Chain A
């Protein structure tokens, strides 16, 4: 195997970890409430702008920006749940789609109005340059995002499977009425789920901002990958999103290198569709 090929695969894994990171929030909301959050990509975008603001106002990097983005977005998640989601959940599926889509446009064009259409960027070395390991080049910012992706996935998985809060959330997801009869408040649980999901998404945005450009429409560019990652991984499965993200990242990188960048999406989506043909519930989803 040629040396460059190893670099391509490493690059793909790091890319995939980032895909997994910004998909975890989506899969949580999707799995918990059966709501497709079309504003997900724009939550990532908001996280990126929080990181940018933290840098311009305080000169601080992701060490401050990432926690702050998590808190800001988690708060927004709760506000969105009580202000919008709770009411549109009672409506038909179409209302949910249009509701979150409207939210996406509202967020996008508010940022557009406030920050303008210019492309912004954090300084290249805000996390600390590039490491050369046996001649392989690994960007510190991507490595950080990859490690955080693993930690977030592990954390969410443990939360859902090992804690009473997680059990309560899953109970609400299973049957809200039955859960209520057991003394669990569905509203509270779902608001917590939104806070966690949006917070994780904000965290992802703040970390992606360290190596990607920032622009109001960036959610469009990143959003589609999140939906593919979640459906390949299995709706609601957090570890599934991680595996799917890594798979997509490596397939994208390899096909771009071996066949040509312009064909990589064809390869990814063809494999994705044929996989769903055999396993519509995704890699780790429940059938």
Chain B
């Protein structure tokens, strides 16, 4: 009797599985793996990245005629694959390069993803993309800026964001302009953590500044996720640099802002390299203590009704937060990847790779302020660019440089609180 029951159940299960299999065969799905820090010290960035990708999925998988000619928006699904839906498998890198690597391996071999994106921290993008390279799976990075990521001779790695060398150029031109308008920029202090991001960006900037004749007078390197930064702030207070350039993730950026206020230290100019200073939770926590901080960005909300404003609105509805530069760059990266898959008309990794190599997007097809998207042999977007923004009121960044893109004029000196 019992045995019969089991048999019946098994039969039902078999039929169900067969039906499910048949059903999914009709609806083609393109599966992409996304690796972000969903837990650990950088979880705030990872959670926002997930929101950004989910908004992108909504735009791709559903019809959004209000977005006009924005790629993949008009119709539901990928037209090049007969309206196939895009699906993302999210994985948590836990802020660890080794975990990121394991997750990449799992997504490729078990989840059978056709491409990967991620992984926020440069040090983790480094290890995860090595797995993708080994398995011949395209890896699209939208946000990691360590220069060496595209210097490894990889064939499957593509990066959309401007990188450290681009910012170094932007910063030195910006400082030259500020000097011409009367600001002192004679001595510069770099404050950075000891991660792949912190050290490589600091190294690139130091070299670029040296070439331009700018003087990096002080290099303050500290261990990431610091419990205390009083000594570092006192060092700055004693050396009195004209410009302090902060290269920090959110946790440390907040601690620096709090400690600077406690020790009453205001540099004449504070210039931040994105990362922590773009995190909405940084602005909520200590924005009012960091008024006048300069930062870099490639994102701007734009006038109401514009493509960017609509996307920003969708993002705000999903996440409850304002779109920030990091989330926007991740979203843009994901769109570039899906556009290539759509153009390839195939989920074959080699065909996606070929399509990515031929990517040629114009500024009006992008949500970011890049001059376009076009990859060189190394997989780096050669048309990536950015602007300088300033946290003038402690609540919202406004574009202040270059003049052509500026919403407001830069305000000096750094106001703090």
Contacts and interface: CB of A to CB of B under 8 A. Distances in A.
Interface stretch (B54-62, B100-108, B182-190, B284-292): B284-292
Contacts of A4: 234, 237-238
Interface string B107-149: 0000000000000000000000000000000000000000000
Given A118-B281, A221-B227, A257 B194 contact: no
Nearest to B250: A119
Contact of A15 (B223, B228, B250, B263): B228
Nearest to B229: A261
B282 interface: yes
The size bracket of the interface on A is 35 or more
Central interface residue in A112, A137, A211, by most chain B CB within 10 Å: A137
A254 B263 CA distance: 16
B334 to A, nearest CB: 20
B255 interface: yes
Contact of A222 (B39, B222, B227): B227
A120 B281 contact: yes
Interface in B22-49: 38-41, 43-44, 46-47
B225 A118 contact: no
B231 A262 contact: no
A249 B228 CA distance: 9
Interface string A120-147: 1100100000100000010100100000
B254 A261 contact: no
A contact patch SS:
helix
B85 to A, nearest CB: 28
A119 B44 contact: yes
A112 B251 contact: no
Contacts of A252: 228, 231
Nearest to B48: A117
A119 B223 CA distance: 19
The size bracket of the interface on B is 35 or more
Central interface residue in A8, A119, A130, A137, by most chain B CB within 10 Å: A119
B262 interface: yes
B288 to A, nearest CB: 8
Contact of A139 (B194, B251, B262): B262
B231 A225 contact: no
Interface string A34-52: 0000000000000000000
A275 interface: no
B395 to A, nearest CB: 15
Interface in B301-336: 321
Interface string A214-246: 011100111001000000000000000000000
Contacts of B12: none
Given A117-B43, A217-B39, A211 B234 contact: no
Contacts of B220: 260-261
A264 B238 CA distance: 19
A260 B362 CA distance: 46
A257 B235 contact: yes
B43 A216 contact: yes
B274 interface: no
B155 interface: no
B327 to A, nearest CB: 13
Contacts of A220: 40-41, 225
B258 interface: yes
A230 B124 CA distance: 33
Nearest to A266: B223
B43 A124 contact: no
A111 B229 CA distance: 26
Interface in B374-417: 417
Interface string A176-218: 0000000000000000000000000000000000011101110
19 contacts: A8-B230, A11-B234, A15-B227, A15-B228, A118-B280, A119-B250, A119-B251, A124-B417, A211-B262, A213-B251, A213-B285, A215-B41, A215-B251, A217-B39, A217-B41, A256-B222, A257-B231, A260-B220, A262-B222
Identify the 4 closest CB pairs spanning chains A and B, nearest first.
A121-B285, A256-B231, A261-B222, A117-B43
Given A119-B254, A217-B39, A217-B43, 16 more contacts: A8-B230, A8-B234, A15-B230, A117-B38, A117-B39, A118-B280, A118-B281, A118-B284, A119-B250, A211-B262, A213-B258, A221-B227, A257-B234, A262-B222, A264-B223, A265-B223
Interface of A: 4, 7-8, 11-12, 15, 109, 112, 116-121, 124, 130, 137, 139, 142, 211-213, 215-217, 220-222, 225, 249, 252-254, 256-257, 260-262, 264-265
